[in-house]
Structure 1
Amino acid sequence: MKKKLVAVAVGLMMTATGCAERTSQAAPAVEVQAGLTQSQLNQLSATLDVKYRLLSNFPEQCSGDGAGERCFAAQIELTPAADFDDNTWSIYFSQMRPVQQVLSQQFAIERVKGDLHKITPTEQFAGFKAGEKVTIDFIGQSWQLSEIDAMPNYYITAGELSPAVIKSTQVSIDSETGMEVRPYVVDFDDELNHYKRSKSDQLQWAKSDVLFAANQTIEHDSAQVVDAIIPTPLSQVVSSTDQAVDLNAGIKVILNGVKASSVDAALNRLARIGVAQSNSGLPTLLELDKTITGEGAYELTIGADRIVINANSDAGFSYGLASLTSLVDVKSKKVNAMKVVDAPRYDFRGMHVDVARNFHSKAFILDLLDQMAAYKLNKLHLHMADDEGWRLEIEGLPELTDIGGQRCHDLAENNCLLPQLGSGPSTDTQVNGYYSKADYIEILQYAGARQIEVIPSMDMPGHSRAAIISMEARYRKLMAQGLEQQANEYRLTDPLDTTVYSSVQYYDDNTINVCMESSFHFVDKVIDEIANLHEQAGQPLKIYHIGADETAGAWLESPLCKAFIANNDQGVTSVDELGAYFIERLSNLIASKGILAAGWSDGMSHTRPEKMAKNNQSNIWDVVAHGGHKRAHQQANLGWDAVLGNPEVLYFDFPYVNDPKEHGYYWASRGTDERTLHSFMPDNLPANAEQWTDIEGKPFEADDRVTKDDQGKLVSGPLKQGVKFAGLQGQIWSETLRSDELVEYMIYPRLLVLAERAWHKASWEVPYNYEGAVYNQQTGTFTNEMRAAQSKQWGELANTLGQKELVKLDLAGIDYRVPTVGAKIEQGMLYTNIIYPGLSIEYRANGGDWQKFTAPVAVTGQVEVRAIAADNQRKGRTLVVN
């Protein structure tokens, strides 16, 4: 698939456990004099050692110990290799939670924009002395609970010299695990000060003993795996287990009029696991059957002399072949005779990928589409524009990608956006880039051949900084040519707007001005150009996602908005209604083009339903533990297509387990493993309160009864009788994910469990109560029998992943997460277990050689454990047995 690049920072070498050690061959110390030259700056960047150290999430400067008004104390440590007295330098770095107070007298820290900060020496700076550490202590906003918070690629500038990345702040890639290693980050190893969100935080750190306890309910059972299909079919009757059907000779496909192009992808996947097409293979008949209704429904019959797939759509035939592939064991190439009758639970079974924050390659997207098709997912929500990047070429607006598709050290932003998210000073990095028109057409056609619909998303009116900056650059260029009318044609901001605001990501200039006709002209242009690409690809644009995010406080001091409110005929009477007006107008504009408008649930909730188009899609990203079912029910009750993306189970950019070394954001969950995702009861959101806890490991209550305010107006309530959700969507946001490999690590194998929940409704799910009810961990609606059935099915799924499915991801070149190992030592004996029975486990004592774990074994000293991927190549992250 993709080449694995191993980037080792200068002066560092990787150990077997992924730790970084200083080598004995450090660059020689060179004394640097004032009046820097480029070579001296480069030498300084190559030899300056930087360490980032979290001190405490409970410093004395914080008010209180709860989750509100929080701060943390941290320290940046600088150790030069040479004496250095110059004070004209600046160090730029990304700090996602803003610095509030600098406690060191020799340095100042200024926030430039978003997460970009700048360190400069003050008048008290006494210069650097070779080998002597100096520290910059500071207080930051909120808290830091993960080592990924320390962003990489600090860089140093001085005057007009070219900026240089400080090499000690670059990430390396561990060659055994494929994971990023941050040698500049001091371990977060203090559970109270480094991993408690508040002093009442009850969340358990997922150390080896915690994982061992969690995995004890999963028993290794090969018998469960033989006839398992992911996702679970509607009906499956095995007719013979005495003599399995042998597919080692392959299959001979008889299309019977079915288009070969519609099943080629499914057949290619079969071939990849060793079941190729062959004239001597088992006859496999595709039979058109108009009595089978429902998009994607199929029947699969496997007999000793033939295989028959009956369906009434391209998707049905592909899914029948996907189920056959799921049945195949890659070693034996044998399956039992059976009949499968199947149809999807939800029409919308989606995966969202953010390529705006950090760009991800076309090759990654094509690989993702392959795996989505393999597990019967049918919607790719492609998020291609946000504050940090615009990732799709638009005819006639080259600035969007020439400038908005790149980040670099250009403080005026004439040639690129400012660095963000640790992207560094150069455009020559993998986090920069965009899809050309040809790339996008290829993606659309590749998706179409796999019965997957692509939903483009360019976020507006908030989260639009890349577009705004790009169109301002276009404005300046055309004004310099004397072309004022053209310059204003797509301008997105009122130059006289003095509003002071801050977005969630700390931008003060990321919101399109909705009072300007040029803003709507821009949106109209973008949608038309994207629709044209879809037409060229033969895949008409059906859904367009506008984002619909708002920025609180925007437009307050815009003269254009004041004039618009005073003179408009749109019923807008105050600045508070401008966000709704924008979404309402776009909803109707998009509907007039025959396209369904979609948006995120927060922005959609501010609209006036009577002013919206009749049909809309709302993506629900509300946290269930925070009453997220209420907005989901309200918007589904409007008749909109409500697609669930609840963060605590469906945000795949969150950590798998509660551990500060795990990758991912963590604002709604610090541990979303596949077992938790499997437990999701999407048809009854509030009922999940009976089995889940909140971000601090505490129980919560979900009240789904009718609630009214003092005036008798409905505030929240249950779904209307018969109303259901449109489907599920997994989400990847890319703020902390810089490589394709890392995104795959976060997506897989969660994507397979997403497919299970989106396709199959489990018998153990609590039926929805349309009368409304209260749910907590004492209400007992989720019965012991249901819990036992859930646990049993999870064991079957876990065994199937560990013994049959993960190796198929290996064969496809997918860098899925190899899980961390549960382990304990009792009376000198080591015991281990794993979330996926079938994967190999290794252990070592006192840093010795790794040995395969096969049974409890006597150990002494420090013991470490790790898992091995299904193909016995990649390794999982090492844990010390505590």
Structure 2
Amino acid sequence: MWKFLKLTGALCLLLQVTFAQKQRYPIIPYPQQLVPQTGEFVITPATRLVLPADPAPFLIETAQLELLLTQALGKPLPTADKAVKGAIIMRQNLALAGEEDYTMDVNPQQIVITAKAPTGFFRAVQTLRQLMPPIIEDAAAPDLKKIAIPAMQLKDHPTYGWRGMHLDVSRHFFSVAYLKKFIDLLALYKMNKLHLHLTDDQGWRIEIKKYPLLTSQGAWREFNNQDSVCMKKAVDNPDMAIDQEHIIQRDGKTLYGGFYTQEQMKDVIKYAAVRHVEIIPEIDMPGHMMAAIRAYPFLSCSGEIGWGKDFSTPVCPCNEATFTFAEDIFTEIAALFPSKYIHLGADEVEKTSWAASPACAATMKANNLKDVEELQSYFVKRMEKFFQSKGKVLIGWDEILQGGISPTAVLMYWRSWVPDAPVLAARHGNQVIMTPGNPLYFDGIPDRNSIYNVYHFEPVPKGLTAAEATHIIGAQANIWTEYIPSEKRADYMFMPRMTALAEVLWTHHADYNNYLQRLNEHYKRLDLLGVHYRLPDLDGFTEDNVFVDKATLSVQPPLTDMTIRYTTTGTIPDTASAILPKNFIINKPLTMKLAAFSPTGNRGDIYTLHYRQSDYLKATVVKDAFPGLQLDYYQGTFKSATKIKATADSSFRINNVIIPEGMGKGGGAFGAKLHGYINVPATGIYSFYLTCDDGGILYIDDQEVVNNDGWHAPFQKSGQVALEKGWHPLLVAFVEGGGGYMLKLEYSVNGGKLQPVPDAWLGAGK
């Protein structure tokens, strides 16, 4: 017994030490190697700063470190010519392998930072910054007397060279100030690429001096159907309100828009460069060009402007005037952006106008092109040759595989429903950047699974050899802004889940629980940086709740300084709303709204909770049930799970509430009904969580329990039902709109742990 107690005590001590170390080194992304040491180095205003022997190549980075310390301590540190006790020492180390590599040795006597190149020193400064207290981010805070940095031996380098974020400024526009804030966050978390989607159907956002109508006309629009959706949602969520600074009055019309002058963009590019972030411009061609075609109608094959079967009318690849226009555009873009990359887009091209064009028929015949797919490839390859003449490398979305890809183009993979695209490109020898819609489209509304899904993303697709995998140069997350109308909403959509991607791409070591504990230490810093991040999820309820006699709502704040406020009047909680008690008793039907608040007033998700009274639903007698469920498959397009057609095209058995791989050929649309029985082991209140991409509805005992209907990205919704022990009829109706699907059902009972529904609970009749 004594040995057991000693072992238990030792284990508890180990856990305490491990937890303390995680809080002691709250670095994201976590370094490749970090060996904790005892003690700490204390920085004071008397601490000396020793610059590299040849400081000239590192003037910007040393100035950044000096500025960081000056903001924290109130005055710059004195410098010394050589290493002295009590100093922060910066040394160049040519033996390090990469431009971003660095080391940091911290002991009670000194901090020694080494790097091969300026980028490595900059990454080291960001690590040191994260080890300092968050209050240093507040320029108005009192000066600190000292800053303790925990002792350690650290060696660090990135796993992937492309660690990116994409921002669409065409659908909704963002200010220069916001671009700089965005860049600051990328730099803090060691991301190094900003892919700016500058043009699309909804707006042209970059000045082109040779074609002034692109911005004088193409940068402005009347409110469209995407704006109206945002306005409707703004009634319940102020973050969905359109930023007023991008709305003007012109000729009696209300217009939305904006653009960057070339001088403004030069300023942003310079700002990014000193933070070691490379900006990659995207001018999307030949599709997504309606803003340009409206200004210059000669760009389409027959002057038409509008929409085809699926997408907008593209520019015409069969008129030389199109190539003159494109080359003029990219001449200015190549001169403006120093990046070696230019993104051509080349996705979602509506080719029906090409198929109907006599000029295109002649071009295809003259160039021995057999179909419009090869005609698109003809356009892309011709533009790539022009890019190369300007010293640039072409990037395109994965549709550039269709019709044939050149060996030098870079492919950006996004279509999750075409899993062989990155594999084929890598085997062909092309470099590949991974941006699959699930989980890296950050315009998808986040839920409790979003950070987990990003953190567990594997950049290298299955099926590649080690040699082929070297063509996967990294990944990025994309933010498409059709339904992101404000800077606050943009913050919410990408933070903090970008931090998970940063760790995947820099460290590539999976330690999710460790990461979550470190992330908790970052929220205060983000508050002080003015980031309107998404607060951690609240637990202890579902959206639709039931009670038999009464229910107790008990919500544990996931962060110690978080406040949860509520209303029962239908109004949105604000910082003046009542604080939720530790145990809130519900004994009558009720609708309430909850929201969490950070100390700076940043509001988290607004939860609407419905409570209704219910008896336990009686169990059903089921004899000789087969394990699993029956899945009825319905070929076709159904925009709602309630609209699935009457007759199934095929049926088979499955083990659980899942959609097997391979359904919906080629990423097509379909419907499914999964039905049978669920055998609950005890009488109780069961909470069910249904995650769908696209939509689904869960019914138990013919009652709707969770409605997650409609076409949308992966998202979880929840509901409760009171069940008597035993068998109950179960039905999940599911619809897929095309492009990749997900279906998952989880449960908890009487407020317990969330977990998958066991196979053993499910059965189908003979």
User: Which interval holds the TM-score relative to the shorter structure?
Assistant: 0.5 to 0.7
Pair 1:815 & 2:532 matched: yes
Number of the residue aligned with 1:255: 51
Q: Which runs of 5+ in 1 are unaligned?
A: 1-219, 410-417, 473-490, 535-539, 658-670, 687-703, 705-716, 765-792
Give me the whole-angstrom Cα distance separating, in 2, the residues matched to 1:675 and 1:346.
20
- Compute the displacement of 1:262 (Å): 3.5
- Compute the displacement of 1:631 (Å): 0.9
Q: Indicate if the aligned counterparts of 1:406 and 1:427 stay in contact, CA closer than 8 A.
A: no
Q: Indicate if the aligned counterparts of 1:497 and 1:558 stay in contact, CA closer than 8 A.
A: no
- The one-character-per-residue Cα deviations of 1:307-349 (angstroms, maximum 9, x if unpaired) are 2210011110010111111222336942211111000010010
Give me the whole-angstrom Cα distance separating, in 1, the residues matched to 2:31 and 2:182.
22
Q: Alignment partner for residue 601 of structure 2, among 857, 863, 873?
A: 873
- Compute the displacement of 1:286 (Å): 1.7
Number of the residue aligned with 1:643: 433
- Compute the displacement of 1:807 (Å): 1.5
Q: Indicate if the aligned counterparts of 1:430 and 1:738 stay in contact, CA closer than 8 A.
A: no
Q: Indicate if the aligned counterparts of 2:286 and 2:346 stay in contact, CA closer than 8 A.
A: yes
Q: Alignment partner for residue 562 of structure 1, among 361, 365, 381?
A: 361
- Compute the displacement of 1:839 (Å): 4.8
- The one-character-per-residue Cα deviations of 1:794-830 (angstroms, maximum 9, x if unpaired) are 222222222x212111221111112341124998654
Q: Secondary structure at the match of 2:503?
A: helix
Q: Alignment partner for residue 299 of structure 1, among 103, 106, 127?
A: 103
- Compute the displacement of 1:723 (Å): 3.8
Give me the whole-angstrom Cα distance separating, in 1, the residues matched to 2:121 and 2:503.
19
Counterpart of 1:859 in structure 2: which amino acid?
I
Q: Indicate if the aligned counterparts of 1:649 and 1:672 stay in contact, CA closer than 8 A.
A: no
Q: Indicate if the aligned counterparts of 1:266 and 1:322 stay in contact, CA closer than 8 A.
A: no
Q: Indicate if the aligned counterparts of 2:29 and 2:507 stay in contact, CA closer than 8 A.
A: yes
Indicate the structure whose relative CO is greater, using CA pairs within 8 Å and at least 6 residues apart.
1
Percent of paired sites with the same residue:
26
| RMSD (CA atoms) | 3.2
Number of the residue aligned with 1:104: none
Give me the whole-angstrom Cα distance separating, in 2, the residues matched to 1:743 and 1:636.
32
Q: Secondary structure at the match of 1:357?
A: coil
Number of the residue aligned with 2:414: 621
- Compute the displacement of 1:517 (Å): 1.0
Counterpart of 2:453 in structure 1: which amino acid?
T
Number of the residue aligned with 2:456: 679
Q: Secondary structure at the match of 2:296?
A: helix
Q: Indicate if the aligned counterparts of 1:583 and 1:604 stay in contact, CA closer than 8 A.
A: yes
Give me the whole-angstrom Cα distance separating, in 2, the residues matched to 1:546 and 1:399.
21
Q: Indicate if the aligned counterparts of 2:567 and 2:594 stay in contact, CA closer than 8 A.
A: no
- The one-character-per-residue Cα deviations of 1:259-279 (angstroms, maximum 9, x if unpaired) are 322454565556666687433
| Residues 319-468 of structure 1 aligned to structure 2 (within 5 Å) | 319-330=123-134, 333-408=147-222, 421-422=227-228, 427-428=248-249, 431-468=256-293
Q: Indicate if the aligned counterparts of 2:440 and 2:476 stay in contact, CA closer than 8 A.
A: yes
Number of the residue aligned with 1:525: 328
Give me the whole-angstrom Cα distance separating, in 1, the residues matched to 2:395 and 2:586.
58
| Residues 18-417 of structure 1 aligned to structure 2 (within 5 Å) | 224-240=22-38, 243-247=39-43, 249=45, 252-256=48-52, 257=55, 258-265=57-64, 268=67, 277-279=76-78, 283-330=87-134, 333-408=147-222
- Compute the displacement of 1:531 (Å): 1.9
Q: Secondary structure at the match of 2:369?
A: coil
Counterpart of 2:281 in structure 1: which amino acid?
P
Pair 1:632 & 2:422 matched: yes
Q: Indicate if the aligned counterparts of 1:798 and 1:837 stay in contact, CA closer than 8 A.
A: no
Pair 1:800 & 2:518 matched: yes
Number of the residue aligned with 1:700: none
Pair 1:731 & 2:478 matched: yes
Counterpart of 1:823 in structure 2: which amino acid?
G
Q: Indicate if the aligned counterparts of 1:843 and 1:853 stay in contact, CA closer than 8 A.
A: yes
Give me the whole-angstrom Cα distance separating, in 1, the residues matched to 2:458 and 2:360.
44
Q: Indicate if the aligned counterparts of 2:373 and 2:402 stay in contact, CA closer than 8 A.
A: no
- Compute the displacement of 1:383 (Å): 0.6
Q: Secondary structure at the match of 1:225?
A: helix
Q: Indicate if the aligned counterparts of 1:382 and 1:454 stay in contact, CA closer than 8 A.
A: yes
- The one-character-per-residue Cα deviations of 1:208-229 (angstroms, maximum 9, x if unpaired) are xxxxxxxxxxxx9565221131
Q: Indicate if the aligned counterparts of 1:845 and 1:860 stay in contact, CA closer than 8 A.
A: no
Counterpart of 1:464 in structure 2: which amino acid?
M
Specify whether residues 267 and 464 from structure 1 end up closer, same or farther in structure 2 by C-alpha distance, changes over 3 A only. Answer: farther
- Compute the displacement of 1:290 (Å): 0.3
- The one-character-per-residue Cα deviations of 1:430-478 (angstroms, maximum 9, x if unpaired) are 9510000111100110111011111000100010111111223xxxxxx
Q: Secondary structure at the match of 1:867?
A: strand
Give the structure with the higher percent strand.
2
Specify whether residues 578 and 335 from structure 1 end up closer, same or farther in structure 2 by C-alpha distance, changes over 3 A only. Answer: same
Q: Secondary structure at the match of 1:814?
A: coil
Aligned residues: 542
Give me the whole-angstrom Cα distance separating, in 2, the residues matched to 1:419 and 1:725.
37
- Compute the displacement of 1:236 (Å): 0.3
Give me the whole-angstrom Cα distance separating, in 1, the residues matched to 2:456 and 2:161.
20
- The one-character-per-residue Cα deviations of 1:466-492 (angstroms, maximum 9, x if unpaired) are 1111223xxxxxxxxxxxxxxxxxx41
- Compute the displacement of 1:564 (Å): 2.0
Q: Which moved more, 1:270-279 or 1:510-519?
A: 270-279
Counterpart of 1:559 in structure 2: which amino acid?
P
Give me the whole-angstrom Cα distance separating, in 2, the residues matched to 1:814 and 1:289.
35
User: If the length of structure 1 is used for normalisation, what is the TM-score?
Assistant: 0.57
- Compute the displacement of 1:876 (Å): 1.7
Q: Secondary structure at the match of 1:832?
A: coil
Number of the residue aligned with 1:545: 343
Pair 1:842 & 2:564 matched: yes
Counterpart of 1:228 in structure 2: which amino acid?
P
Q: Indicate if the aligned counterparts of 1:407 and 1:419 stay in contact, CA closer than 8 A.
A: no
Counterpart of 1:815 in structure 2: which amino acid?
H
Specify whether residues 641 and 274 from structure 1 end up closer, same or farther in structure 2 by C-alpha distance, changes over 3 A only. Answer: farther
- Compute the displacement of 1:585 (Å): 1.2
Q: Secondary structure at the match of 2:355?
A: coil
Give me the whole-angstrom Cα distance separating, in 1, the residues matched to 2:384 and 2:44.
53
- Compute the displacement of 1:880 (Å): 4.8
Specify whether residues 235 and 575 from structure 1 end up closer, same or farther in structure 2 by C-alpha distance, changes over 3 A only. Answer: closer
- Compute the displacement of 1:239 (Å): 1.3
Give me the whole-angstrom Cα distance separating, in 2, the residues matched to 1:522 and 1:648.
35
Give me the whole-angstrom Cα distance separating, in 2, the residues matched to 1:408 and 1:880.
33
Q: Which runs of 5+ in 2 are unaligned?
A: 1-17, 81-85, 136-145, 232-245, 612-766
Give me the whole-angstrom Cα distance separating, in 2, the residues matched to 1:323 and 1:346.
18
Give me the whole-angstrom Cα distance separating, in 1, the residues matched to 2:71 and 2:310.
47
- Compute the displacement of 1:833 (Å): 3.9
Give me the whole-angstrom Cα distance separating, in 1, the residues matched to 2:471 and 2:305.
45
Counterpart of 2:427 in structure 1: which amino acid?
N
Q: Indicate if the aligned counterparts of 2:91 and 2:114 stay in contact, CA closer than 8 A.
A: yes
- Compute the displacement of 1:542 (Å): 0.4
Specify whether residues 747 and 798 from structure 1 end up closer, same or farther in structure 2 by C-alpha distance, changes over 3 A only. Answer: same
Number of the residue aligned with 1:501: 308
- The one-character-per-residue Cα deviations of 1:335-388 (angstroms, maximum 9, x if unpaired) are 211111000010010110000111111111111111111111111101100111
Q: Alignment partner for residue 500 of structure 2, among 753, 761, 780?
A: 753
Pair 1:857 & 2:583 matched: yes
Give me the whole-angstrom Cα distance separating, in 1, the residues matched to 2:107 and 2:118.
23
